[in-house]
Amino acid sequence: MTDLFAARSQMAMSLGFHILFAIVGIGMPLLMVIAEARWRRSGDPLDLELAKRWSRGTAILFAVGAVSGTVLSFELGLLWPGFMEAAGPIIGMPFSLEGFAFFTEAIFLGVYLYGWDRISPRAHLLAGVIVAVSGAASGVFVVIANAWMNAPAGFTLVDGTFSDIDPLAAMANSAAFQQVLHMTLASYAATGLAVAGIHAFLLRRDPLNAFHRRALTIGLMVGAPAALLQPLSGDISARNVAEHQPAKLAAMEALFQTRAGAPLLIGGLPDMDTKTTRWGIEIPAGLSLLINRDPKSVVTGLDSFPRADWPHVPTVHFAFQIMVGLGSLMALVSLWALFKLFRGHDLAADRRFLALTALTAPMGFIAIEAGWTVTEVGRQPWVIYNVMRTSDAVTPMPRLVYTLAGFTALYCFLGIVVAWLLYAQIIRSPREREWHRIYAPKPAVTP
Amino acid sequence: MSPTVADLLAGAVLLALTAYVLLAGADFGGGVWDLFARGPRRERQRAVIAHAIGPVWEANHVWLILVVVLLFTGFPRAFSQIVIALHIPLTLILVGIVLRGSAFIFRSYGGDDSGGQRRWGRVFAVSSLVTPLLLGTAVGTIAAGRVQRPTGAGFMADFVTPWLTPFAASVGGLTLALFAFLAAVYLTNETAEEELREDFRRQALASGVVVFLLAMVTLVLAWQGAPLVWNGLIVSPGALPLHLIVGAAATLSLWALWHRWWRLARVAAVAQVTCILWGWALSQYPWILPPSLTIAQSAAPLITLKLTLGALALGSLVLFPSLFYLFRVFKATEQT
Ligand code: HDD
Ligand code: HEM
Ligand code: HEM
């Protein structure tokens, strides 16, 4: 394994791990706040129990997110010093702002988790709202930094050095809005549907369980609208990619030849050597229609770029298919769920609905991993699109395969522990004595 | 000579580092005392430590991220040399940070399984001990002027021998002792139970003495190992006042501990640690990476520096009231 490949793999693995927790750090605080707000209005102890359980889960996931995020901030430098030396002054801004978002998030999460009986109920709810807002903000800032790698702006390049640096123009790059919108929706869609799906699964065995019913509803309230909007936001992203990163779009669609009336390719196995795709289904003129709103328009294919500037086409294409496929399913299930909610149907009574919702539980997370694969692998061989090659950014440190192996082992281990804790602490139905505690009559005051 | 914008940002890095040492450093120190908890009140000591760390450690930890971000934004060349030359210790630090944070949270939320709790407690405590050693080693290597671009002289020469020195190791030991000392002093303020307070007082006094001894060792090793620091701490005109201040703060903190003036001890310990850090920074000013890179040479373009300072100012408006609130909610009520 070359050091470059080890570095790329380690980066991919660390980001792929962190993002799972980051999504939850954005989505869960919202669910927790909704449950607590309901409790304050209804006084139903079940809502309080949900808010408390979810905040325990968030505490575990947030901590792992925080430490894996710390690893990333160092790894940007440890693995890609060439990149950070050039890019730091240009995109340091969103990272600094992200730092403050982390502060507020961590501070008020501490207040939220440990402050149940130390501050007023109103202040407690407000702390939860601040956690939710700053979680979303930290995601926004880091995605802006990433968007800059895809659509670099705010500098001029003279003989390989960056001059005329303008950090604000860098933040306002042409990919920022699309990516931020898509990623933020993705976080709510993934978290909301995951929570709904898990409780839908448990409801199939225990359909009368009030705890799971409540969780299902709140999960859907957050997840379904976001999942419904996601294909629209994806369309905006795709057209932006077509305009600014044509090689990535060509790889997503495995479009080897530039052509008018380009078809939309579903599935298929692209072969970079023969420049053909086998076993795909083509929808005639579909791609031209989607990208330019005109079935006869021309879409740039990979033949417009030197072979050395192609990303790995099969990876990008597969990942894109997975994201879009899962995204479509999630949107359909969400549509059904919202329909039922508006009609006032009993969600838990419909076993087919429960089964389908349970199936969507992991989909958002998989779609997000796939979407980031599209974005990041699709940018290759560039770390800064059309400006700096990944191979020029890598550290001179040799033997990176050892750190890759070490972090992979560490993260696998952590992943297993977290999964077990979440099951034992958060997801399983309350035991009998816990039901007693939830609905216990207040102990009589002894005179 | 008035300070430049780059100097101001370097000062901000130093302030963030100071906050990290004073706050997160004590959280590490708490882990050390968890490891060394002995005697009949062992479990109660551990409970006080966990209780003190729980609500604040994640916020305290963000100071380190701020240091990293400010370095790569404001001083990209220095950052890139540091992450290349110190790749190995920094990677080990990351492992330590990951294990410590997750083990702490796994222990707190692990439910009633006491065997599991003990194991996570052990992981938490051991990584709290190892990480400060490595952090200090990294700082010591910078102070020693051994962070250089790789010369191609081989793996060991470029990536290992720069930080594998007695001086760097002694700075590592000093860092660990300082963190433990801070933690013990803070902990005397964290409990109302007399017995536990006495335990922490003993630990504070002991670690205070260790700090003194290790500081002497570090100073002696600096003569050979870190000439610039040696010069700044012994020869330069500012050296004597600095030693007087550090010495006074150290004496005051021990004296206050002796007389059980808990709050005064805390203030003095904070002053002592702050002076040590700033003494190091002043002794190597204007170098950021002695002896090859000054603050000015490694600074980002002016516009970046200004915007970053602006962002810091703006962020502080949010940060400080929030921090104040956090500490008021969780720390003010402990004292009875
Ligand atoms: C819940 C997750 C999820 C779902 C259901 C979808 N996506 Fe997505 N997609 C992401 C999660 C995501 C992501 C992981 O969040 C990405 C990676 C980078 C980004 O900004 O968002 C992404 C990137 C991404 C990109 C690349 C952007 C770039 O490289 O700049 C495109 C073109 C799309 N998506 C298009 C779609 C379409 C047409 C979808 C239709 C269903 C879709 N996405 C559903
Ligand atoms: C799209 C990608 C990313 C998103 C949406 C995201 C979002 C988040 C969120 C919401 C958190 C809060 C903690 C949590 O929920 O567990 C977090 C933590 C963190 N992230 Fe990320 N992140 C992303 C990528 C990165 C990258 C590339 C870096 C490295 C520079 C990074 C650095 C951090 C750090 C340092 C923390 C810890 C903050 C703390 O201690 O509170 N993240 N991230
Ligand atoms: C958290 C969600 C993200 C995921 C899952 C992700 C995934 C990946 C993957 C798979 C690669 C390897 C690509 C390859 O070499 O083929 C990569 C590379 C990289 N990513 Fe991301 N990425 C994410 C977000 C970010 C963000 C927010 C940033 C920066 C702010 C970032 C910065 C980088 C850098 C610097 C590289 C290495 C250089 C390169 O390979 O181009 N990533 N990422």
Buried b (16+ CB within 10 A) or exposed e, B148-162: eebeeeeeeebbeeb
**Hey, which residues does A271 pair with through a beta bridge?**
A276
pLDDT digits (tens, 9 = 90+) for B283-323: 888 888 888 888 888 988 999 999 999 999 999 999 999 98
Local confidence band at A430 (pLDDT 50, 70, 90 cut-offs): low
User: Before B291, cis peptide (omega within 30)?
Assistant: yes
What is the dihedral sign for C-alpha A408, A412, A415, A421? negative
pLDDT digits (tens, 9 = 90+) for A331-378: 999 999 999 988 888 888 888 999 999 999 999 999 999 999 999 999
Where do the DSSP E strands lie in chain B? Answer: 287-289, 293-294
The answer to whether A194 and A364 are in contact (CB under 8 A) is yes
What percentage of residues in chain B have a pLDDT greater than 90? Answer: 53
Q: What is the average pLDDT across B261-286? A: 89
What is the C-alpha separation between A238 and A253, in angstroms, rounded? Answer: 11
Local confidence band at A447 (pLDDT 50, 70, 90 cut-offs): very low
Lowest-confidence segment of A177-181, A232-236, A437-441, B218-222 by average pLDDT: A437-441
Residue of chain B minimizing CA distance to A97:
B311
Given this model, what pLDDT does residue A436 score?
A: 62
User: Would the pLDDT of B226 be above 90?
Assistant: no
Lowest-confidence segment of A126-130, A179-183, A408-412, B154-158 by average pLDDT: B154-158
Buried b (16+ CB within 10 A) or exposed e, B57-90: bbbbbbbbbbbbbbbbbbbbbbbbbbbbbbbbbb
Q: Which two tokens stand for residue A145?
A: 């930094």
- Short-list A92, A375, A105, CA closest to B306: A92
User: Would the pLDDT of A446 be above 60?
Assistant: no
What is the C-alpha separation between A211 and A35, in angstroms, rounded? Answer: 12
Given this model, what pLDDT does residue A5 score?
A: 93
In this structure, what DSSP letter does residue A304 have?
Answer: G
Local confidence band at A445 (pLDDT 50, 70, 90 cut-offs): very low
In chain A, what is the straight-line distance between the N-terminal and C-terminal CA atoms, in Å? 76
Q: Please state the atom number of ligand 2 nearest to the C-alpha of residue B62.
A: 40
Asked if the Cβ–Cβ distance from A70 to B61 is below 8 Å, we say yes
Q: Which two tokens stand for residue A347?
A: 């969600």
- Short-list A148, A150, A226, CA closest to A187: A226
What is the C-alpha separation between B199 and B206, in angstroms, rounded? Answer: 11
> Residues with beta carbon inside 6 Å of ligand 1?
A 150, 175, 179, 182-183, 186, 189-190, 230-231, 234-235, 237-238, 241, 248, 323-324, 326-328, 330, 364, 367-368, 371-372, 374-375, 378
User: Would the pLDDT of B243 be above 50?
Assistant: yes
Local confidence band at A95 (pLDDT 50, 70, 90 cut-offs): very high
What is the C-alpha separation between A94 and A84, in angstroms, rounded? Answer: 14
Given this model, what pLDDT does residue B283 score?
A: 82
Put simply, whether A156 touches B (Cβ < 8 Å) is no
Given this model, what pLDDT does residue A186 score?
A: 97
Of B94, B304, B319, the CB nearest to A103: B319
In chain B, what is the straight-line distance between the N-terminal and C-terminal CA atoms, in Å? 49
Q: How far does Cα A425 stand from its chain's mean position? A: 24
Of all protein residues, the one whose alpha carbon is nearest to atom 5 of ligand 3 is A16
Which CA distances in Å does A180 have to A173, A194, A227?
A: 12, 21, 15
What is the C-alpha separation between A52 and B153, in angstroms, rounded? Answer: 57
- Output the CA A45–ligand 2 centroid distance in Å: 33
What is the C-alpha separation between A301 and A253, in angstroms, rounded? Answer: 9
The larger pLDDT score, comparing residue B60 to residue A1, is at: B60
pLDDT digits (tens, 9 = 90+) for B35-70: 988 888 888 888 888 888 888 888 889 999 999 999
* ipTM of model: 0.91
The answer to whether B166 and B197 are in contact (CB under 8 A) is no
CA angle B35, B37, B41 (to 5 degrees): 150
d(CA B77, nearest CA chain A) in Å: 6
Contacts for A277 with CB less than 8 Å, ≥ 6 apart: A254, A256, A265, A268, A269, A270, A271, A317
Q: What is the average pLDDT across A384-408? A: 91
- Short-list A201, A199, A198, A207, CA closest to A346: A207
Given this model, what pLDDT does residue A366 score?
A: 97
Q: What is the average pLDDT across A185-194? A: 97
What is the C-alpha separation between B326 and B336, in angstroms, rounded? Answer: 18
CA atoms within 13 A on the CB side of A121: 9
Asked if the Cβ–Cβ distance from A74 to B83 is below 8 Å, we say yes
φ, ψ of residue A17 in degrees (nearest 5): -75, -50
Round the average pLDDT of chain B to a whole number and report it: 89
What is the C-alpha separation between A115 and A108, in angstroms, rounded? Answer: 9
Is residue B324 exposed (0-12), middle (13-18) or buried (19+ Cβ within 10 Å)? exposed
User: Would the pLDDT of B33 be above 90?
Assistant: yes
Please identify which residue in the block is written with the tokens 């957050």: A222
In this structure, what DSSP letter does residue A423 have?
Answer: I
Put simply, whether B166 touches A (Cβ < 8 Å) is no
Round the average pLDDT of chain A to a whole number and report it: 90
Q: Which two tokens stand for residue A127?
A: 């702390």
Give the DSSP H/E element, type plus range, for residue A278: strand A276-278
User: Would the pLDDT of B334 be above 80?
Assistant: no
> Residues with beta carbon inside 6 Å of ligand 3?
A 8, 11-12, 15-16, 18-19, 76, 80, 83, 142-143, 145-146, 369, 372-373, 376-377, 379-380, 383, 390
Q: What is the average pLDDT across A93-107? A: 92
Biggest CA–CA distance in chain B, Å, is: 62
User: Would the pLDDT of A398 be above 90?
Assistant: no
Q: What is the average pLDDT across A89-100? A: 93
Asked if the Cβ–Cβ distance from A92 to B69 is below 8 Å, we say yes
The answer to whether A17 and A365 are in contact (CB under 8 A) is no
What is the C-alpha separation between B187 and A166, in angstroms, rounded? Answer: 47
Given this model, what pLDDT does residue B335 score?
A: 47
Q: Which two tokens stand for residue B25?
A: 């450093």
The larger pLDDT score, comparing residue A6 to residue B117, is at: A6
User: Would the pLDDT of B261 be above 70?
Assistant: yes
Report how many Cβ contacts below 8 Å link chain A to chain B: 199
Buried b (16+ CB within 10 A) or exposed e, B43-53: eebbebbbebb
How many CB atoms within 10 Å of residue B317?
10
What percentage of residues in chain A have a pLDDT greater than 70? Answer: 95
Top mutation candidate among A3, A5, A9, A15 for ligand 3, by most atoms within 8 Å of CB: A15
- Short-list A111, A32, A119, A130, CA closest to B54: A111
Which CA distances in Å does B171 have to A121, B132, B145?
A: 47, 10, 14
Asked if the Cβ–Cβ distance from A100 to B319 is below 8 Å, we say yes
Given this model, what pLDDT does residue A421 score?
A: 83
User: Would the pLDDT of A440 be above 60?
Assistant: no
pLDDT digits (tens, 9 = 90+) for B166-217: 999 999 999 999 999 999 999 998 888 888 898 899 999 999 999 999 999 9
The answer to whether A179 and A147 are in contact (CB under 8 A) is yes
Given this model, what pLDDT does residue A302 score?
A: 92
pLDDT digits (tens, 9 = 90+) for A26-82: 999 999 999 999 999 988 888 998 998 888 888 888 989 999 999 999 999 999 999
Given this model, what pLDDT does residue A328 score?
A: 96
Give the CA dihedral A79, A82, A88, A90, nearest 10 degrees. -140
What percentage of residues in chain B have a pLDDT greater than 70? Answer: 97
DSSP of B72-99: HHH-HHHHHHHHHHTHHHHHHHHHHHHH
Kindly give the pairing relationship between strand A276-278 and strand A269-271: antiparallel
What is the C-alpha separation between A101 and A144, in angstroms, rounded? Answer: 14
Give the CA dihedral B23, B25, B30, B32, nearest 10 degrees. 180
What is the C-alpha separation between A375 and A371, in angstroms, rounded? Answer: 6
Q: What is the average pLDDT across B220-242? A: 81
User: Would the pLDDT of B336 be above 50?
Assistant: no
User: Would the pLDDT of A444 be above 70?
Assistant: no
Q: Which two tokens stand for residue B336?
A: 């009875």
Q: Which two tokens stand for residue A341?
A: 């909610």
Of all protein residues, the one whose alpha carbon is nearest to atom 19 of ligand 1 is A179
Local confidence band at B233 (pLDDT 50, 70, 90 cut-offs): confident
Q: Is A330 in the pocket of ligand 2 (CB under 6 A)?
A: no
In this structure, what DSSP letter does residue B294 have?
Answer: E
Of A98, A110, A398, the CB nearest to B155: A398
Please identify which residue in the block is written with the tokens 């660990």: B176
Asked if the Cβ–Cβ distance from B58 to A62 is below 8 Å, we say yes
Q: Please state the atom number of ligand 2 nearest to the C-alpha of residue A143.
A: 1
The answer to whether A134 and B318 are in contact (CB under 8 A) is no
- Output the CA A375–ligand 1 centroid distance in Å: 8
